[in-house]
Amino acid sequence: MIVIGTDTHKATHTCGAVDARTGQLCGEKTARARQPGFRELLDWGRGLADERIWAIEDCRHVSGSFERFLVAQGERVVRVPPKLMGQSRKGERARGKSDPIDALAIARAALREGPETLPAAHLDERALEIKLLCDHREDLVRTRSEEQQRLRWHLHDLWPELELPAGCLGRAVWLERIARKLARAEQGARVRVGRDLVRSIRERSRRAAELEREIAALVETQAPDLLALPGCGALSAARILAETAGVERFASDAKLARLAGVAPIPASSGNRRRHRLDRKGNRQLNCALHRIAVTQGRVHEPARAFLARKQAEGKSRIEALRCLKRHLARAVWQALRASRDRESINSLSLIDEVPKLRPVEGLALT
């Protein structure tokens, strides 16, 4: 078996194949980062060995097209974090930096860590669609927040006596009041800028609400069991779906917890047995679990009792929430599997319901 490390760039991709048993370089190839180049690299890799794994440096916007191409062709693809590649390159005896050197470092980093321990690339178009919509909505909300801050300072400069409650610039009633006040004022440069900001904030709020409804509909279709989890709203569920990209990637809830950074890391030495917080992992997924944990701590009685018990043991509130997040990772994994199994059963039912064709006289069905 060989491991093909791939150093991805906007214009070109460079691959270096390494024998999995000896770690020796089997070949190198560079091709353009376009569909014909992808096909050229695939044919080259297939010509080297029948059994192979593609290890790609995890640079999503640069490597995503090549990942999707390989997965669609039935290839096994794993993602190598850039940090692992950098550590592997430091340990090489050959000095310097180039695309072939980086590709070789990626392949050897994958071998050192074990390909089965690295995140596997998975083709899930529905999860990708949800991720794109979530990211776009978050960009809109972030830009709207910046515009609200600028509008607040413009209003303070125009009318220092005007009291604006926290969060009021996100409400349609207050935006209407401010728009009327600006329309009545003398139309100087600051007033015109303020009116433009009000219009932009209204439009971004409208578009963000539309995206939230669209995301909620997609999540309801794809993972209803996840929405049934107490404290899990549509946006948190969408982020979980987007970042997991297929629950079949995780053989156990422990693997999902490790990806989310909610599984404690052993930090024992000698007779001292302890664990420490994992500050790595997918922080978007970790944030979604944290939102669910905080919500459950307010409204869900079993979670409130769990947190109270942990705090009675001497843990702080945040430490108790971390314990709850580890249990939530298991509940999320089970909910995702239940939704997937239900979808599989429904697909089989639809196949069974297809009416059988009866042969027509003079025709043979093949």
Residue 36 maps to which CATH number?
Answer: 3.30.420.10
Instruction: Judge whether 133 lies within some domain.
Output: yes
Instruction: Judge whether 35 lies within some domain.
Output: yes
Domain final residue, candidates 117, 135, 163: 117
271 shares a domain with 162? no
> What pLDDT score does 95 carry?
62
> Where would I find the H helices in the chain?
35-48, 60-72, 82-90, 99-113, 125-158, 172-184, 189-222, 224-227, 234-244, 253-260, 283-299, 301-312, 317-352
> What pLDDT score does 80 carry?
85
Domain final residue, candidates 88, 117, 146: 117
Q: Is 338 exposed, middle or buried (0-12, 13-18, 19+ CB in 10 A)?
A: middle
> What pLDDT score does 273 carry?
78
79 shares a domain with 17? yes
> What pLDDT score does 124 carry?
72
Domain final residue, candidates 72, 93, 117: 117
Residues comprising the chain, all counted: 366
214 shares a domain with 231? no
Instruction: Judge whether 34 lies within some domain.
Output: yes
| Whether 258 contacts 330, CB under 8 Å | no
338 shares a domain with 243? yes
The H or E element that residue 7 is part of is strand 2-8
Domain count within the chain: 3
pLDDT along the chain (366 residues), means of 10: 92 93 90 94 93 86 87 88 66 70 88 80 80 95 96 95 91 95 95 96 96 95 92 95 86 90 85 81 92 95 95 93 95 92 66 44 36
Instruction: Judge whether 305 lies within some domain.
Output: yes
Query: What are 331's two structure tokens?
Result: 């509940």
Instruction: Judge whether 299 lies within some domain.
Output: yes
CB-hemisphere CA count at 13 Å for 48?
Answer: 25
Instruction: Judge whether 209 lies within some domain.
Output: yes
> What pLDDT score does 86 carry?
60
- Residue 279 sits in which domain range? 225-352
> What pLDDT score does 93 carry?
54
> What pLDDT score does 212 carry?
96
Instruction: Judge whether 360 lies within some domain.
Output: no
21 shares a domain with 96? yes
215 shares a domain with 161? yes
Instruction: Judge whether 365 lies within some domain.
Output: no
Provide long-range contacts, Cβ within 8 A and 24+ apart, for 212-217: 212/137, 214/133, 215/130, 215/133, 215/134, 215/137
The pTM of this model reads 0.77
Alpha-carbon gap, residue 39 to 54, rounded angstroms: 14
